[in-house]
A and B are shown apart, each in its own frame.
Chain A
């Protein structure tokens, strides 16, 4: 819901806004491969996608992103052009993410692989690429491959990616659903990373999975 005055004026005078409940209008959400929420997509009147924004953003940034897209700034085509100038792993990651969110798996994998192969395979950017790779399988409900990837990341990365890979395994088990393994993995996460900010989330998930009322924390 846009209640900001700038946004109201923008969507009254410049662009048309449509809000689609992805689970109710599955034909539209599937057509545009909207799998992460919120996802906002800039379309031409013909329905052709210009580009998209995934996740929350402050209203000003949100509107600027779409104005930039109409000017060809920050679009996939723009980033692909910039990538020709030389190695830029951060840029490769952005390109891969764009392909991922469009559901173009092979193209996403090509660019995630470039991130990993053009730098230290165990550094933070490679960790981001590996996690995104695994997330792709998870969103596509290929749980066996997602688990395999998260387990490899947990073993290979001592950074926060290794930690995050544990909680993601628990989420995959929950989604499968394999309740026993999900509970066990959330419990393992809490035991291994008691200082993590996701401990409360893990506890709430265990409570839900055990069908107990959520425990409130002070």
Chain B
């Protein structure tokens, strides 16, 4: 039974890996009517092209 579960998980992971779809960055926020933004700077920098700039906006709840 345990072997079956492990095999199923492995197959699913293999399918996901072969699908070619890049996983959506966890911190990317997109919603209609709002400029897309990241809440994690490392992910934002990773998303930038080599010659592309990143604007990081620091804020507080004050």
Q: Please give the residue numbers on chain A whose beta carbons come within 8 Å of chain B beta carbons, in ascending order.
A: 1-3, 7-8, 10-12, 14-23, 25, 28-29, 32, 34, 37-47, 50, 66, 70
Task: Check: B49 CB closer than 8 A to any chain A CB.
Answer: yes
B49 contacts across to A, CB distance below 8 A: 45
Q: Please give the residue numbers on chain B whose beta carbons come within 8 Å of chain A beta carbons, in ascending order.
A: 29, 33-41, 44-45, 47-62
Query: Which listed residue, A3, A38, A66, touches B53 by the CB 8 Å rule?
Result: A66
- What is the distance, in angstroms, from A75's C-beta to the closest C-beta of chain B? 13
Chain B contact surface mostly: mixed
Q: How many residue pairs, one in A and one in B, have C-beta atoms under 8 Å apart?
A: 123
**CB distance A20 to B56 under 8 Å?**
yes
A1–B32 Cα distance when bound, in Å, is: 12
B44 contacts across to A, CB distance below 8 A: 16-18
**CB distance B34 to A37 under 8 Å?**
no
- What is the distance, in angstroms, from B29's C-beta to the closest C-beta of chain A? 8
Given the known inter-chain contacts A10-B35, A45-B45, please indicate yes or no for A16 contacting B57, CB distance below 8 A. no
**CB distance A21 to B35 under 8 Å?**
no
Known: A3-B34, A16-B48. 18 other contacts (CB 8 A): A2-B34, A12-B35, A15-B52, A16-B45, A17-B38, A17-B55, A18-B56, A19-B37, A20-B41, A32-B56, A37-B58, A38-B58, A38-B59, A41-B56, A43-B45, A43-B55, A45-B51, A50-B53
